[in-house]
Chain A
Amino acid sequence: MKATILVRPKAGILDPQGRAVESSLRQLGFPVGEARVGRVIDLDVEATSADEARGEIVRMCERLLANPMIESFEIEVDG
């Protein structure tokens, strides 16, 4: 089963990468507001249902893929 995990810096956490992207976009003439940069993890999971996969991925996020102090995550399971 294919899944996509989005890991984002939480609101209020300094995101210097986002700031650099934001100022670059402005320099290029794009009138953007705040930019935040996170990360995408595409994953193949062995599971019999989307719910089972989701539960497993939540555990992965809590243990390794995200640091709950500074990052939030969203999970999309395909099929």
Chain B
Amino acid sequence: MSEVVPRIAVLVFPGSNDDRDAAWALSALGADPTFVWHAEDELPQVEAVVLPGGFSYGDYLRCGAIARFSPAMQALNAFASEGGLVLGICNGFQILCEAGLLPGVLRPNASLEFVCADVPVLVERADTAFTSRCEVGQELVIPVKHGEGCYHAPADLDDDQVVFRYARDANPNGSERDIAGVLSRDGNVLGLMPHPEHAVDPLLGSGDGALVLASLVDAARERLYARA
């Protein structure tokens, strides 16, 4: 029996630069990625959407502040409100926070320096659509590369919403409570600063990011089955 291949949209904003890596990784892990330009006001029929890293709209004003108003983001809001799976990586995480789809906000790194490094990240929850291939407490090595990744949590952030934390003494940006990735209350939207799409092949340093993206592909495939 041939494997069912779920379609996953990768949004592309002016200034996105990890869109192709994200698509390549999704494809390698069994999905059919399709690019959606920010000016589109509809999403194609997809089982999940990825917001890639980069510097959408030049990071002007605040990271993600302008991207959130693009036509494709209005379509994404509707998709997410119906329970659609959304993964935001780095700038994608910043956009989801500005759009109010995720709690909190990402501020300039405490060090004020751009950080580019492989960091150990701990899995706090394995019962999500984005981490089903991981185990609680598992340490993943995934690269970060950002100037504004210092997570500021709202006072009412539930600990259950924290899916990834930087390992002890490995917080690269000053994020509160070492938070590296946050889940929406409904569990269908995840944002994280580390880049799983850059860690899908041990030849390039680490294959740990594949666990995150393959979990998403699994969940997308299940949704496709459920719809068929």
- By a beta-carbon cutoff of 8 Å, the part of chain A in contact with chain B is 13-14, 16-17, 19-20, 64-65, 67, 69-70
Contact = CB atoms under 8 A, between A and B. Distances in A.
A70 B62 CA distance: 11
Contacts of A69: 104-105, 152, 154
Q: Is the interface of A mostly helix, strand, loop or mixed?
A: helix
Interface of B: 61-62, 65-66, 69, 98, 104-105, 107-112, 150, 152, 154, 174
B124 to A, nearest CB: 23
Q: Provide the main secondary structure of the chain B interface.
A: loop
B108 A17 contact: yes
B65 A64 contact: yes
Contacts of A20: 112
Given A16-B111, A64-B61, 4 more contacts: A20-B112, A67-B98, A67-B105, A70-B152
A16 B105 contact: no
B112 A17 contact: yes
7 contacts: A14-B152, A16-B111, A67-B65, A67-B105, A69-B104, A69-B105, A69-B154
Given A67-B98, A69-B152, A69-B154, A16 B65 contact: no
